[in-house]
Structure 1
Amino acid sequence: MSKILYSACLLQVLAHATYAQTGADMLRKYQAAIGSFRTADYVVQRIDTFGNGQVWNNTGRVVLQRNPTSKLLGAAFLASRPDLAQSYFYDGTTGFELDDKAKTFILVKEPYEPSVLGSPAGQMLVEELLAIDPTYETVTYRRGRAGQGGVLRLKYPDQPALDVLERYTDVTIDEASGLPRSVRTSVVRGGGHWVTRKVLSKLRLNDASSAAALHNPAFLTAYASSVPVPRPVVNTSLVGKPAPAFRLISLAKKPVQLRDFRGKVVVLDFWETSCAPCVKAMPQLQQLQEQYGNKVVVIGVLLDPGASERAQGILRRQQAHYLNVVGTKAEESAYHVRAFPRYVVIGKDGKVLLDKEGGLHIEAVKSAVKLAVSK
């Protein structure tokens, strides 16, 4: 009986080792396959399932070509969303936002990668067709049924500081070509499960007409250049003004009024559960609260309808115990919240000392609080 058990265990260990080795081998084969072409032209269906259960289902087309000098994805590309009549062209240096209905384009001298990839047309780009993110922890391969293709799975490190966990990329590989048939990325963020699935079809490689579409883009002669009308500069700063009053309900279901904290320094942190910089700053805000004790009140103002339970999970995981309230459109408007996080520091006299938006301003918040407490 012991020999049988020993043999079974040995087979299991060997099978596991083979499985892991097969993952590494298949990754090398996959990288060789995607490295074998210069130009690709494909149709893609992208299905996004958000942490709140909302689903987006969009289809577009992309033509791309490797360009080692390119600052974005190492490629030049033309990505299109026919349903919206929107496209994005990038020549390796300069970006062009195309309105395919009005036949106009806006030149973008220094494209910002997150903005490009997050745009409607940019979302059609399948980055894994060009390269695999090398920061993975493990790679495995699971053979599929005949004709269905196997699945290459890459597990990426958790990012607890951002409340980002269980990061996986699953690439379904076509048995004949070795190229991706679909790519599925999944992550648990803010306690919710986020999944993006991109299904490729009509894939053509090294097609001359596709390359021509990038080398001699038709829009340069068929479309008119459009110069965005600059928005009027409006001073929305609250600095020096009395902080707008509010009466809100905390996540603990208790009423909270701003006026109750007159005589103390107040830090307002406007945030939402999908904001990574918001989550990253939470430990520092908690440290600020602990450092100054009852001289300072840190208040997180959640502007994320229906996300109270998810917010409490994030705060618990980040060990952030400072006061949090549920904000409304009224506070969003009164405090001119246009992006997250937005920080407002209020002095002991109830007047605003600092208002900044963006995660890079947490140090400015600390400095403002230090100065305000000393007065």
Structure 2
Amino acid sequence: MRTLQAKLILSGCFFLSILSGLHPVLGQGADNPTADRVLSAVYEKLAGMRSLQYAYRLELNYASEDYHRALPGSAYLEFTPSDTLIGFRYQVEHDNMKFVYNGTESFVLDQDQKTMRLNTSPEFQYFAGITAFYNSLVTLRKAIPALIADKTIGKSIADTTMDKRECYVIRLTLDRRVIDRLGGFSELGTDRKVSYEITVEKESYLPVQILQRNDQNQDFMLTAFSRIMPDAASPSELSWYYSSYADQYKLTQKKALQPLQEHTAAPDWQLPLYGSPEAVQLQQLRGKVVLLEFWTKNCGYCISVVPALNSLVKRFAHEQVVVLGVNAHDTEEGINSFYKKNRPHYKSVFKGKGVSEAYGVGYFPAIVLLDKAGRVLYQGEYDQKKIEGLIRTALQ
């Protein structure tokens, strides 16, 4: 979940895509490719590879939050059908970090601090949160069959030239959904259209870049690919095992986050209330149904869920229901900027990093719903239908 969520600076490729002009592909038939035909060709290309090596540049530009970041990196992927967890093993490097999954265990090397974190039993959600897979070649390989089959997705195709290469640009428009990093889909809690422009080189049918935008603001995410090497040779065998790095890196263990169990009492806490000299203690809210939304300022999904939470506040305005944001680590200045731009109709407490960890929150936004006795009814993503149903039941 989500937390994919970052923002970048416009790259040269993005400007080229705009300035070169896009000319719609006209006509029908084999000589005039459609979006689905080109997507099929891209899928056949990617699915036919036993391994894949490439460089990437992920650019995150959340102008609505004044957040910009660029993440260049490199990846080696080796597709292993026998791996039923994610279907491939990998070695990825960016920001002086190296991420390795050998099909059994995963580990992360901090090349600056010379430390190593080991996960001997990784679960699917662990991989779904890896930044390097955001709108990546893995995303396309896993998502394309579903994208082709889904007739509710708006699709179009155009011609363009990028870096003197003839390319197609496939435009996809999804209603209230985004494509997950490992190819699934996540529902959005707000009425928002999300568009993807996938640029594909005509000669090779290899992706050049993926641009993601929405119809609510100027935020965008751009992943550009280069130096793509199909069926690349594997790194050395020893490089796949954490024991090979034990003499250079100190093994550290990061405490695993454990979400609260349903029907158990939520731990009490007291945190300062944003915009007020007062503090809020959870125990003071007993007798009311409490929805806690854990959020951070630089989180696109946290922004997109605000209108839905505002609607929830309005719907239960005359009931014993409290909607309260819990900001994990932003400054009061950052929270003030978020409130001015996005206008939540509910209050927030802050300095909530310790509470987030105690509640097992590993992504943002995360929802924890409590009954009138302070017991956990739900913890997870914002699912409006489910949450409203639980609230109504708890009020009875």
- Pairwise same-fold verdict (TM > 0.5): yes
Please name the residue that 2:36 is paired with: 24
Quickly say closer, same or farther: Cα 1:230–1:299, change in 2 above 3 A. closer
Asked whether the 8 Å contact 1:183–1:198 carries over to 2, the reply is yes
- Please give the per-residue CA displacement for 1:293-315, whole angstroms capped at 9, x wherever unaligned: 45x14233363712225544xx7
Question: How far off its partner does 1:152 sit?
Answer: 2.1
DSSP-derived class of the 2:203 partner = coil
- In structure 2, C-alpha distance between the alignment counterparts of 1:120 and 1:269, rounded to whole Å: 26
Question: How far off its partner does 1:79 sit?
Answer: 0.6
DSSP-derived class of the 1:217 partner = helix
DSSP-derived class of the 1:162 partner = coil
Please name the residue that 2:80 is paired with: 67
**1:95 paired to 2:69:** no
- In structure 2, C-alpha distance between the alignment counterparts of 1:62 and 1:310, rounded to whole Å: 36
Question: 1:138 aligned to 151, 154, 167, which one?
Answer: 154
Asked whether the 8 Å contact 1:158–1:165 carries over to 2, the reply is yes
DSSP-derived class of the 2:225 partner = strand
Superposition CA RMSD, Å:
4.9
Question: 2:174 aligned to 156, 169, 175, which one?
Answer: 156
Superposed, 1:297-312 pairs within 5 Å as 297-301=321-325, 303=327, 305=335, 306-312=337-343
Please name the residue that 1:6 is paired with: none
Asked whether the 8 Å contact 1:88–1:97 carries over to 2, the reply is yes
DSSP-derived class of the 1:47 partner = strand
Question: 1:353 aligned to 353, 358, 374, which one?
Answer: 374
Greater shift after overlay, 69-78 or 111-120? 111-120
- In structure 1, C-alpha distance between the alignment counterparts of 2:90 and 2:44, rounded to whole Å: 21
**1:79 paired to 2:92:** yes
Quickly say closer, same or farther: Cα 1:133–1:287, change in 2 above 3 A. farther
Unaligned runs of 5+ in 1: 1-13, 316-322
**1:52 paired to 2:79:** no
Question: How far off its partner does 1:120 sit?
Answer: 5.3
- Structure showing greater relative contact order (alpha-carbon pairs closer than 8 Å, 6 or more residues apart): 2
- Please give the per-residue CA displacement for 1:181-220, whole angstroms capped at 9, x wherever unaligned: 22222345xx54442212222222223xx32x16552655
Unaligned runs of 5+ in 2: 1-24, 148-152, 178-186
Asked whether the 8 Å contact 2:92–2:100 carries over to 1, the reply is yes
DSSP-derived class of the 1:24 partner = helix
Question: How far off its partner does 1:125 sit?
Answer: 5.0
- In structure 2, C-alpha distance between the alignment counterparts of 1:52 and 1:246, rounded to whole Å: 23
> Equivalent pairs: percent with the same residue?
14
Letter in 2 for 1:62: A
**1:182 paired to 2:198:** no
- In structure 2, C-alpha distance between the alignment counterparts of 1:73 and 1:241, rounded to whole Å: 34
- In structure 1, C-alpha distance between the alignment counterparts of 2:279 and 2:110, rounded to whole Å: 47
Larger fraction in helix: 1
Letter in 2 for 1:89: V
Please name the residue that 1:199 is paired with: 224
Bigger-Rg structure (1/2)? 1
- In structure 1, C-alpha distance between the alignment counterparts of 2:146 and 2:175, rounded to whole Å: 8
Please name the residue that 2:118 is paired with: 107
What is the TM-score of this pair, normalised by structure 1? 0.66
Asked whether the 8 Å contact 1:34–1:131 carries over to 2, the reply is no
DSSP-derived class of the 2:54 partner = strand
Q: How many equivalent pairs are there?
A: 329
Question: How far off its partner does 1:368 sit?
Answer: 9.8
Quickly say closer, same or farther: Cα 1:245–1:27, change in 2 above 3 A. closer
Letter in 1 for 2:46: I
DSSP-derived class of the 1:32 partner = helix
